[in-house]
Amino acid sequence: LSGPGIGGYRPSEMPALFKPLMEALQEGDFEKANEALLSSTLLQVPAEKTELVASMVRSNLAIWSIPRNFVQQLDQPAIGRLGELKMPILVLVGDQDLPNIREQAELIASQARKARLEVVPGGGHLLNLTSPAAFAGLVSEFLGHPIR
């Protein structure tokens, strides 16, 4: 898991990104929602990767427009069931990621039975883009074989 989110998690403090993003989505202004994401610290990457990230975010228009009645909420959110996870889990998070993302990574690592937390120095939310060598090395070691 890289920069994970947990169903049912409620941050102690809402990230600055949340208000403009939610306002844009409530207005149905998906371009504005994309710009809120792209201008936030959440998706900061090295300069040579910014166009790739912008392209990925702009391709999210289909996700923004999914009717809410198609999105089914779980009766028991994941946050209360982390202890049920029995498989080995590598939890990756950048030390520059948002505090609430780092907190969720720590929750998974502390509550899932076989979870291991790796905090990548200098890494952001998109670890494969902000810290590609560290990301590849940690994932390769976890899987037991090199990734490309």
pLDDT in tens, 127-141: 999 999 999 999 999
The pLDDT > 90 percentage for the chain reads 74
Tokens of 52: 């790739």
Q: What is the pLDDT of residue 145?
A: 84
Q: What is the pLDDT of residue 86?
A: 94
* Over residues 2-9, mean pLDDT: 93
Side chain identity at residue 15, one-letter code: P
- φ and ψ of 32, to 5 deg: -65, -40
Encode burial over 88-125: b for 16+ CB neighbours within 10 A, e otherwise. Answer: ebbbbbbebbbebbbbbbebbbebbeebebbebeebbb
- Kindly provide the residue ranges of all beta strands, DSSP E only, lying in 75-131, ordered along the sequence: 89-94, 115-120
Question: Does 75 score more than 80 pLDDT?
Answer: no
Tokens 């490309």 appear where?
148
Question: Does 62 score more than 80 pLDDT?
Answer: no
Tokens of 100: 């609430």
Q: What is the pLDDT of residue 68?
A: 67
pTM score over 0.85: yes
What is the C-alpha separation between 63 and 65, in angstroms, rounded?
A: 5
